Amino acid sequence: MAGPHPAVAAARVGVRRALAAHGLERCTVLVACSGGPDSLALAAAAAFELPRSGGVAGAVVVDHGLQEGSGEVAEAAADACCALGLAPVQVVAPTVQRGPGGPEEAARTARHEALAAAARSLGADAVLLGHTRDDQAEQVLLGLARGSGTRSLSGMPSARVLPGSPRVLLLRPLLGLAREETEAVCAELGLAPWQDPHNGDTRFTRVRARNALRHLEDTLGPGLPAALARSADLLRDDADALQEVADTAYRELGDPPWPVPALTDLHPAVRRRLWQRLATEHGSPSGALTGRHLRAVDDLLLRWHGQGPIDLPGGLRAHRAEGRMWLERAGTG
């Protein structure tokens, strides 16, 4: 008997490997499903794999409420998940609070909070996201455009802790698949994915990155998304190693303000990670913090001649005075 379509098999293998890598075969796992082709293909793969390994596959549909008719789209996605055999299925509608990081950052924050709440209420051990190799390539391209460092260029990790739920993992089982493969999964299984109109709206940076990637592929030749994704994989090990050194330095420095001599003794790559961590912990949106900001803070350390504080995204300022460095909210010093 013939096996499944190659794209269907690839999606199932991606889910199977992700579950096995983290010992989740017999656990409760939720698919974050928007109803689009990527998340719907993921939902179908999870619905196939989890019951066979002794686990439970459910779904959570996040209705951001940012488009007309979003409620109907969310209900249709939930119905599709139920038809695939996923249970429990929950629709959540978080409030998106606009902040300094822009609408995409605000929607991402609200989505993570909603996923964390759903995971807690449904007793899930992991949430699966439908990001593909093309999403990874776009992420790397955005990092290049921002002038970001190794961590940003290493793209999205295949696994991380869900913000707000330290005991719940976020997994991306489809990072090895191209977007056309998830579309092929939906076509093969007779699924009717929703096509998000925001995917063509160039007001969003990710849409512009997608368009730029297509242009670059037309110019440089096919295979660019896969090459960028491979670069991300190679850079991730380097970024992880540097982060371990920076985490050790962070613990040894203790709470800010930090003495200037202790900071100047550190490698610049380590210091940049210290500034990044300190800024994000004080509320600076990670997507808005660029290499230019980090270099400016480093210049305050190395080339100080009495100048005032450095402004950072999120209303933060980096200060140097009396041989020490620290960050604080603007207007609190």
Per the annotation, binding residues for ATP are: 34-39
| Cα distance between residue 238 and residue 184, in whole Å | 34
Other Cβ atoms within 10 Å of 117 Cβ, number: 16
Other Cβ atoms within 10 Å of 43 Cβ, number: 32
Give the distance from CA 141 to its chain's centroid: 14
- What's phi and psi for 72, nearest 5 deg? -65, -40
Known binding positions? 34-39
Helices (H), the chain: 6-21, 37-53, 70-84, 102-122, 133-146, 150-153, 179-189, 205-220, 224-253, 260-264, 268-281, 291-302
Nearest one of 329, 315, 318 to 295, comparing CA atoms: 318
How are beta strands 258-259 and 316-321 bridged, if at all? Answer: unpaired
Q: How far, in Å, are 39, 270, 298, 299, 328 from residue 277 at the CA level?
A: 31, 11, 14, 17, 13
| Cα distance between residue 152 and residue 120, in whole Å | 29
For tokens 């991306």, the residue is 172
| Cα distance between residue 144 and residue 317, in whole Å | 25
Phi-psi region of 133 (alpha: psi -120 to 50; beta: other; left: phi over 0): alpha
